[in-house]
A = this chain, B = another copy of it.
């Protein structure tokens, strides 16, 4: 193996730059050349790339986003798009490809793997934390802390005005962010797409809290649970307590990565290069029970990561 490619794909996540830096420097240490493709799969389709050196990734560790840029690229998913991508890899004499992204990106990598013999290593970087076989993605801890810091601020108004706040966090299909954020911010109710609920459940909890002497409250809801504006209106209507909605938006995807997101980026990036040099199969680098290891790409994309529902119980008990 002489030359590896690197691409960041899907939504950006804090720590992607730290992961690029880690892959480039780990590869350099092992005398590999590194080619960075730009704007996700688009760069593979259109052969937009540049050589990366240890110095070209200086001073990026602490910044959100990705210096390689990323995009959502529909063309990639066509037969033609995949073949063009495979040709670009061959044209540039790429021996191995590091794909930095989330579940969707790894599905793409799996599709690409049918068109090329180049070995692929996935590095999980997405705020969604939805990669099967992996306990924590790069960027997740950052997004959770960003949201928690926002809710700490919102609590000032909630407490001063005796209001309930519905806080919508990211997560179109999964509740990992909502669960971690709700637990850490002391939310009385946490709503995730994985668990059905009725408005009566939500209203019941608010009413119980009032009886306990709580005059304000926080309901953390993943965006995937439905219409949060309506939810907030219903809460107000059915409890008689003022309720407001706050949608924590794209700021959750940006900002300087936390120490933990940076650590994962470093450990995952290093391992990805090792994996390309040593493994025979396409894999994803993962954190499992506190250890950095690997899982086959095929197994990861075939399965859906479960949500730890016991944490919902813990959160509920703590917000008693």
Contact B259 A29 (CB under 8 A): no
Note all chain B residues with C-beta closer than 8 A to A255: 152-153, 156
Note all chain B residues with C-beta closer than 8 A to A22: 318
Contact A71 B262 (CB under 8 A): no
Q: A25-B320, A250-B154 are in contact. Are A258 and B258 (CB under 8 A)?
A: yes
In the assembled complex, A184 has its CB within 8 A of some CB on chain B: yes
Closest Cβ neighbor of A255 among chain B residues: B153
Closest Cβ neighbor of A144 among chain B residues: B259
Interface string of A150-175 (1 = CB under 8 A from B): 10111111011110010000000000
Contact A12 B160 (CB under 8 A): yes
Note all chain B residues with C-beta closer than 8 A to A213: 55
In the assembled complex, A90 has its CB within 8 A of some CB on chain B: no
In the assembled complex, A119 has its CB within 8 A of some CB on chain B: no
Contact A246 B249 (CB under 8 A): yes
Q: Tell me the complex Cα distance, A105–B148, Å.
A: 30
Q: A28-B320, A161-B12 are in contact. Are A156 and B254 (CB under 8 A)?
A: yes
Q: A12-B161, A262-B183 are in contact. Are A153 and B318 (CB under 8 A)?
A: no
- Shortest CB-to-CB span from A96 to chain B, Å, is 18
Note all chain B residues with C-beta closer than 8 A to A152: 62, 254-256
Which of the residues B70, B153, B259 comes within 8 Å of A64, measured between beta carbons?
B153
Closest Cβ neighbor of A252 among chain B residues: B153
Interface string of A57-92 (1 = CB under 8 A from B): 011011111100111000000000000000000000
Additional pairs, 12, CB under 8 Å, beyond known A70-B161, A144-B259, A270-B318: A11-B161, A12-B157, A12-B161, A26-B318, A61-B185, A61-B186, A64-B157, A65-B159, A135-B290, A153-B250, A155-B254, A181-B259
Q: A-side interface residues toward B, CB under 8 Å?
A: 8, 11-12, 14, 16, 21-22, 25-26, 28-29, 39, 54-55, 58-59, 61-66, 69-71, 135, 141, 144-146, 148-150, 152-157, 159-162, 165, 180-181, 183-186, 212-214, 244-251, 253-256, 258-260, 262-263, 266-267, 270, 287-291, 314-315, 317-318, 320
